[in-house]
Amino acid sequence: MKFEVKDGCFSYLKEDIVLNNVSLCVDEGQVISILGPNGGGKTTLLKCMLGFLKFASGTVLCDGKDQKEIKQNEFWQKVAYVPQARTQTFPYLVKETVLMGRSAYLNLFQMPSQKDQEIAEDAMKRAGILHLAEKSCAEISGGELQLVLIARALASRPEILVMDEPETGLDFKNQLLVLNLIQKLSKEEHLSVVFNTHYPEHALEVSDHTLMLMKNGGSIFGTTKEIMTEKNMQDAFGVKIKIIEEDVDGVKHASILPVSLVEDNER
């Protein structure tokens, strides 16, 4: 599925523009990262893309069709949202949580069927958490809970995953688990993934295209290579940055070194 945002504008208060003419385009199997400083509108953009908030102007298109004209449950069968892992008020079992991903296919009074259970089980397998199925979401670690939420999203058999900072608050190993899963889903299963991140390295590591949110609601979008330059990052974050590339076992990895703060008048 082709997912597009065209000239999206948004502000909570009239004088304070959060997003100004943001555009991005996601093709099948692509990974798109969204980078930007704290309070720069990353989460707001995701919420607008998904229709939780409404763009003041601009459109969201799925395969060229305006999102507003698509029925809610049809939209949510194609697009899945992975929120940040938070503890549930009423902890459900992992398998119950993942099964909720089937809700978009059920009508108001319908119970999930055996088929739905199987699809949920398959989603747990793909996310590598089948062994946790019988555990309570209150007993597992933050990293595992994030994978559970990804499995729940996969259970709706979507064409695109939209993730809100999926690796924030996780340790190295769990971050890699999540990133590897993102890569696997896009390369092997041709799922599109859009994710917000605080870590430029992660964007460099897994994404094809990057949207960088700049000051005053502006943004730049292009291939990750084009966008993730020392100059652009300095402009967006106000930090002098050095990109260090390193070959490990024949694979190129990049590390980003924040050198110093840049005073506003130097920018």
Partner 1 sequence: MKLDAKFKIWMIIGMVVLILTGLTALCLGQFNVPVDQVISILLGKGSTLKNAVTVIRQVRMPRILFSMLAGAGLAAAGAAFQSLFSNPLATPDTLGTANGASFGAALGILLGISYVGIQLSAMFFGILAVILVFVVTRTSNGQNKGSIVMVILAGLVISSLFSALVTLTKFVADPNNILPVITFWLMGSFSSISYKSLQMGTPLIIAGLIVLYLLRYRMNAMSLSSDEAKSLGVNLPLTRGLIIFSAAAITASVVAICGVIGWVGLLIPHIARMLFGNDNRRVIPASILFGAEFMLITDTIARCASNTEIPVSILTAIIGAPVFIILLRKTGGIRV
Q: Which residues bind partner 1 (CB under 8 A)?
A: 12, 47, 50-52, 72-73, 76-77, 80-81, 83, 86, 88-93, 96, 100-101, 103-106, 108-112, 134, 136, 138-139, 156
Which pair of structure tokens corresponds to residue 194?
């859009």
Spell out the long-range contacts of 109-118 with Cβ–Cβ below 8 A and sequence spacing 24 or more. none
Report the residue number, 105 or 237, with the smaller CB distance to partner 1: 105
CB of 71 to partner 1, least distance (A): 10
Report the residue number, 12 or 65, with the smaller CB distance to partner 1: 12
CB of 92 to partner 1, least distance (A): 5
CB of 173 to partner 1, least distance (A): 26
Do 23 and 221 contact (CB within 8 A), yes or no?
A: yes
Report the residue number, 138 or 261, with the smaller CB distance to partner 1: 138
CB of 69 to partner 1, least distance (A): 17
Closest listed residue to residue 91, CA positions, set 46, 48, 168, 148: 148
Which pair of structure tokens corresponds to residue 6?
């065209």
Report the residue number, 19 or 228, with the smaller CB distance to partner 1: 19
Q: b/e map of 126-135 (b: 16 or more CB within 10 Å)?
A: bbbbbebbeb
Residue 140 CB contacts under 8 Å (≥ 6 apart), including other chains: 94, 132, 148
